[in-house]
Structure 1
Amino acid sequence: MSSLFDELPARKDTRSVKWDMVKALYGTDDVQPMWVADMDLPIANPIKQALVDRAEHAIFGYTYTDKLLNQIVRQWLQKQHDWDIKSDWIIYSPGVISTLHMAVLNVTKPGDSVLIQTPVYPPFYDIVKSHDRDLVTNPLRYENGYYTIDFEDLESKFQQGVKAFILCNPHNPVGRVWTKEELQKITSLCLQYDVMILSDEIHADLIYNNHKHIPIASLSDKVSEQTITCMSPTKTFNLAGLQVSYAIVPNKDVRDAMKNEFKKYGMTMLNTMGITALEAAYTSGEEWLRELLQLLEHNRDLVVSAFQDHPEITAMKAEGTYLIWLDCTDMGLSHAELKKFMQEKAKIGLNDGASFGIEGEGFMRMNIASPTNYVQEGVNKILKALDNRN
């Protein structure tokens, strides 16, 4: 495993949300942050060098995207996901969440129903509610430490007139990478009931062994015409602060309407460094990504095995993402007590499971995109706190 990931970078006093907001969020400075979904790992050297070279140019004027960048994105998707797209399907934006907001505004009307699968990434709730759409949930089934889709409930909700479905694949926070069979069942229902698919695939490149990410729009031409796919290099290459993403929109009418929506809100240009980083990541970042995945899989297995002798907590064996969903329901605590235990007893800053929806009560989310010794330290703190309860 690469020594690149051995040391914890110093991130305090860099305006880091994860590190410099600890006291504001947890009430004390002595909480180990393992929450916000960015990495405590250095970016790939080719990306760093590209950014340094661009900075040394010393001019940061308006910067445009071009056919070469489109081709770079196309080649990445073909190589990584066996997805052959056309250049004119691409729409760039500052972030996946921005794109999903524009998509909801574009493909639905006030009062329309938009479905999400809970527990799920908290901004999905705001994307629906802030535009006066009706939020409909399709809770995932949870049995024996594993999540599946409740297709009977999904069809029932679609029958009630759902207009759009925000899919999360790989799923945040439960870590599922939906299989081809599951995706085909989803698309069959979406086509049958004329439901537009808004697919958040930002974690698409972070997939563990024996699993494969399949862009849902790649399943058929009919599905692609009914899908807006949101992707980005930011999770993959730890570039979140550079705010660069893109949507794949094969349907020309939808694509033109989306472009007009972005224009209406003044979102027509990426920042210079984001473009630079995207190009460098997709042309020179593959070796770094392979080493990263080895680290993440090692860290995931470490966390899962660590709790096997402490049945009060079950760590989901994520199939993708660098996020581990911890089932703490057997601790016998209320959710408020669970939060207090993690913050005050274990001294660990995790994401509050309840923020992902009511189905997340009794759960916490852990970020493992850090050097292994840092992840081990965090796990040990929880285990020690558990032992002290007994």
Structure 2
Amino acid sequence: MNGKPATERFDFDAVHDRSHFGSAKWANQWDEFSPRVEGENLISLWTADMDFRAPEPVIACLRSAADHGIYGYTKRDRRHYEIVRSWFERRHNWAVDLETLLPAPAIMPSVAAILRTFTQPGDGVIVQAPVYSPYFQVVRDNGRNLLINRLTLVDGGYHLDLDEFERLAAKDARAFLLCNPHNPAGKAWTRAELESLDAICERYGILVVSDDIHCDIRLNNRRHIVFSSISEGAAAKSFICTAPTKTFNLAGVPSATLSVADRGRREKLFAVMQASFMVNANFFGRLALEEAYSSGDQWLDNLTPYIRDNIDFVCDFAAKSLPGITPMRPDASFLVWLDARELDARVGGVHRFLVEQAGVNLYDGRVYGPGGEGFIRLNVGCPRSVLEKALTRMAIALSSI
């Protein structure tokens, strides 16, 4: 794989002070989906950014650009899209055609643009809850009808409810927001599952907007399957949304890419994005994307086992010392979905209990919609020592009840 020489060292154990530069995570500055959390000395493992430095080549690239001192207009050229294609081809066996790629500032603004372009007010949009909370907002705030297809929890894992999905599809659905891999559970959908969803969407003429932002951190041997790759029909109806921001911890310098195989829809969407002034590249975001996708392989290949070991640590620790909390092992991402439903009922809200009694701030599962009640989401994208400290605090708090 591409990347720095094997002699480069990756220190994911280093603890960095993130209390400055406006860090939302460590200021516990909650967004519009949940109330702000107050408290001194809180350990913040809630929102989905990591506490690791980006790859050194990315830092060096941005430092050089910053030192240049001229931050004028920039653009994405053919080389930019070749870098994107090369990344997905070598990492995920997805040889996307360059002509299908469109520039985007970030994924959620792009989802909003897609819905505004190809659906009408009142049209139904299917989401699969529990799911990333901005999905609810992007549907409702754009005047579309939110249709919730609840995932089925069986033996500690989520499965599709295809009967309910088809019932919603036959109702008034026009689009489907696919979270692939699924956030918060880290579920990587199989080809068979994607084909089942595709068949229903094809039958009812439903467009598929696939958010693949968590696809790169793979925790088992299963490859990521891009929805548009499963068939020509799937490609024709889909909008694939990608970004390096979760992979390389670049949420503050965002840049995204869309793949729209259907030429007519691609041209129509690009016109809407131009009219919304969404296509001008961010100076630093473009550079970060190009450098990360060009030279970040080795960094990611070292990060992934570290995340996997953190998840193993959580699972082992929970089994021994966190009664009432059962982790769901993810297929991808640095997020762990914790089932604490019985504990939640016993303490009158497990999220608030952990904030007040343990000084640990996780994400309340209720944020993720129906089916999230009694769950909490833990971000393990942090040094092991920080994770151990947080879990130890949680264990002490639970031992008192």
Normalising to structure 2: TM-score of the pair?
0.94
Shift of 1:168: 0.2
**2:199 corresponds to:** 188
Instruction: Please give the secondary structure, in 1, of the residue aligned with 2:294.
Output: helix
- The alignment status of 1:323 with 2:335, answered yes or no, reads yes
1:164-243 to 2 correspondences below 5 Å? 164-243=175-254
CA distance in 1 between counterparts of 2:100 and 2:343 reads 49
Contact 1:22 1:31 (8 Å CA) reproduced: no
Does the 8 Å contact 1:334/1:362 carry over to 2?
no
- Give the C-alpha shift of residue 332 in structure 1: 5.2
SS at match of 1:364: strand
Q: Which amino acid aligns with 1:13?
A: H
Q: Which residue does 1:350 correspond to in 2?
A: 362
- In the other structure, the counterpart of 2:3 is none
Is residue 70 of structure 2 the alignment partner of residue 63 of structure 1? no
Corresponding residue of 1:102: 113
Alpha-carbon separation, structure 1, partners of 2:269 and 2:389: 45
Does 1:373 find its partner at 2:385?
yes
Deviation at 1:3, TM superposition (A): 4.8
Residue number among 5, 14, 28 corresponding to 1:7 in the alignment: 14
* Aligned counterpart for 2:169 among listed residues 158, 164, 170: 158
Cα deviation digits, residues 357-382 of structure 1 (max 9, x gap): 03111011111001111111111111
**Pairing of 1:89-168 with structure 2 (within 5 A):** 89-168=100-179
Give how far 1:339 is off. Answer: 2.4
Q: Does the CA contact (< 8 Å) of 1:342 and 1:348 recur in 2?
A: yes
Kindly report structure 1 stretches of 4+ aligned residues shifted beyond 6 Å. none
Looking at structure 2, the residues matched to 95 and 8 of structure 1 have their Cα atoms a distance apart, in angstroms, of 28
CA contact (8 A) 2:55 2:296 kept: yes
Q: For residue 386 of structure 1, what is the aligned residue in structure 2?
A: 398
Please say if 1:19 is aligned against 2:22.
Answer: no
AA at the equivalent of 1:11: R
- 1:63-82, aligned counterparts within 5 Å? 63-82=74-93
**Residues 140 and 149 in structure 1, CA contact (< 8 A), matched pair in contact too:** yes
Matched-pair contact (CA < 8 Å) for 1:14–1:20? no
Please name the residue that 1:33 is paired with. 44
Specify the alignment match of 1:48 in structure 2.
Answer: 59
Q: Which amino acid aligns with 2:13?
A: D
Distance, in Å, in 1 between the alignment partners of 2:343 and 2:13 is 33
Alpha carbons 1:2, 1:291 under 8 Å: kept:
no
- SS of the residue corresponding to residue 234 of structure 1 reads coil
Cα separation, 1, equivalents of 2:136 and 2:70:
39
Question: Given the superposition, is the C-alpha separation of residues 370 and 81 from structure 1 closer, same or farther in structure 2, using an over 3 Å criterion?
Answer: same
Query: C-alpha separation between the residues in 2 aligned to 1:253 and 1:356?
Result: 34
Q: Which residue of 2 aligns with 1:259?
A: 270
- Give the distance between the partners of 1:92 and 1:378, measured in 2 at CA: 39
- Gaps in structure 2 of 5+ consecutive residues: 1-7
Give the one of 277, 282, 298 matched to 2:288: 277
- Whose helix proportion is higher, 1 or 2? 1
Greater displacement, 277-286 / 205-214: 205-214
* Gap runs ≥5 in structure 1: none
Is contact 2:327–2:337 with CA below 8 Å preserved after alignment?
yes
Report the 3-state secondary structure (helix = DSSP H, G, I; strand = E; otherwise coil) of the residue aligned with 1:279: helix
Aligned length: 389
3-state secondary structure, aligned to 1:18: coil
SS in 2 for 1:308: helix
Q: Counterparts in 2 of 1:277-316, with a 5 A limit? A: 277-309=288-320, 310-316=322-328
CA shift in 2, pair 1:15/1:332, >3 Å: closer
| RMSD between superposed Cα atoms in Å | 1.6
